[in-house]
């Protein structure tokens, strides 16, 4: 597996693959890779001849008080994982290759960036939308793969690709979970052993809540019982809601396309999760 650190080097490699008629998949990441990321590479391998993974800890998607400085960085270990997973090229640009001096453009996806994560992380989705647009334009992949754990991010990326006529197919990949149900995330590394021991309760509570909602129970009552259960397990709940999986508009009863979304904190670690709610 080769590494490209500049857009020129990335495009040179892509040009040679295109000349051979290869389909290309892109897996954008911020590194600190886990099985979830490797499942994205695997999907890429099934859908294209060549898989490019990018690792770029994008400063524009971190707020002033967020974890940009302590975000886990482990490039050598990540490169080895990607190589073993069958990735063909690692794109590892330095910040100045992505945001050169004088950089001034922001991509903003209005509306979808407002609820849930957008309510507490102002500017976060502008940062995500901007860097993902740039990566899609740098590589022009046939397909780009993103994890469903960050469902709102995925919805925003689908919207921007459609709105900007970016021809890549945007594919969502199912959440990969630890044995106790905790959705894999690079930020799980921040959990203390005590918090890690209870973190699986988030998924179990969501599963039970989704089943109750599917049986036709009241949405507000069910959600407030779930919030209380999470709080007594030790979580600080940022949000727990039922919403349409495409528009992200809240739902007051379980309808087709409904999805349960949660963000909850254990200490300073924020966990996100979501799962579908099938109407009865």
By CB under 6 A, name the binding residues for ligand PAF. 28-30, 58, 61, 128, 131-132, 146, 150, 153
Q: Identify whether 37 is a catalytic site residue.
A: yes
| Secondary structure (3-state) at 129 | helix
Residue with tokens 């490169």: 79
Q: In the complex, what is the shortest distance from the CB of residue 91 to ligand PAF, in angstroms, rounded to a whole number?
A: 11
Q: Which is nearer to ligand PAF, 58 or 274 (CB)?
A: 58
| Contact yes or no for 277/254 (Cβ under 8 A) | yes
- At residue 120, φ and ψ (nearest 5 deg) are -110, -5
Q: In the complex, what is the shortest distance from the CB of residue 77 to ligand PAF, in angstroms, rounded to a whole number?
A: 16
Residue 35, number of CB atoms within 10 A of its CB: 13
Q: In the complex, what is the shortest distance from the CB of residue 54 to ligand PAF, in angstroms, rounded to a whole number?
A: 7
Q: In the complex, what is the shortest distance from the CB of residue 124 to ligand PAF, in angstroms, rounded to a whole number?
A: 9
**DSSP secondary structure string for all residues of 23-68:** -EEEEEE-S---HHHHHHHHHHHHH-SEEEEEE---GGGS-TTSST
Name the token pair of 31. Answer: 């590194």
**What is the largest distance, in Å, between two alpha-carbon atoms of the chain?**
59
Q: Which is nearer to ligand PAF, 132 or 183 (CB)?
A: 132
Q: Which is nearer to ligand PAF, 135 or 210 (CB)?
A: 135
Residues with a known catalytic role: 37
């Amino acid at each position: 597996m080769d590494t490209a650190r500049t857009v020129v080097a990335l495009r040179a490699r892509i040009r040679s693959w295109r000349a051979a008629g290869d389909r290309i998949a892109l897996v954008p990441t911020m590194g600190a890779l886990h099985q979830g990321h490797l499942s994205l590479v695997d999907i890429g391998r099934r859908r294209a001849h060549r898989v490019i993974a990018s690792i770029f800890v994008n400063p524009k998607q971190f707020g002033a008080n967020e974890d940009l400085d302590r975000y886990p960085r482990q490039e050598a270990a990540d490169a080895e994982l990607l190589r073993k997973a069958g990735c063909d090229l690692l794109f590892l640009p330095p910040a100045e290759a992505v945001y050169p001096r004088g950089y001034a453009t922001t991509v903003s996806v209005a509306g979808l960036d407002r609820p849930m994560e957008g309510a507490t992380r102002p500017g976060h989705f502008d940062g995500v939308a901007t860097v993902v647009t740039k990566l899609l334009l740098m590589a022009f992949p046939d397909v780009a793969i993103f994890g469903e754990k960050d469902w709102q991010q995925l919805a925003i990326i689908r919207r921007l690709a459609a709105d900007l006529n970016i021809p890549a197919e945007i594919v969502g990949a199912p959440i990969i979970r630890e044995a106790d149900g905790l959705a894999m995330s690079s930020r799980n590394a921040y959990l203390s052993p005590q918090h890690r021991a209870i973190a699986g309760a988030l998924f179990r509570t969501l599963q039970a809540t989704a089943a109750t909602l599917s049986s036709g129970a009241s949405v507000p009552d069910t959600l407030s019982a779930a919030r209380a259960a999470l709080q007594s397990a030790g979580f600080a709940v940022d949000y727990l809601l039922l919403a349409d999986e495409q528009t992200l508009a809240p739902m007051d009863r379980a309808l087709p396309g409904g999805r349960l979304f949660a963000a909850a904190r254990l200490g300073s670690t924020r966990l996100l999760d979501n799962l579908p709610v099938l109407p009865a």
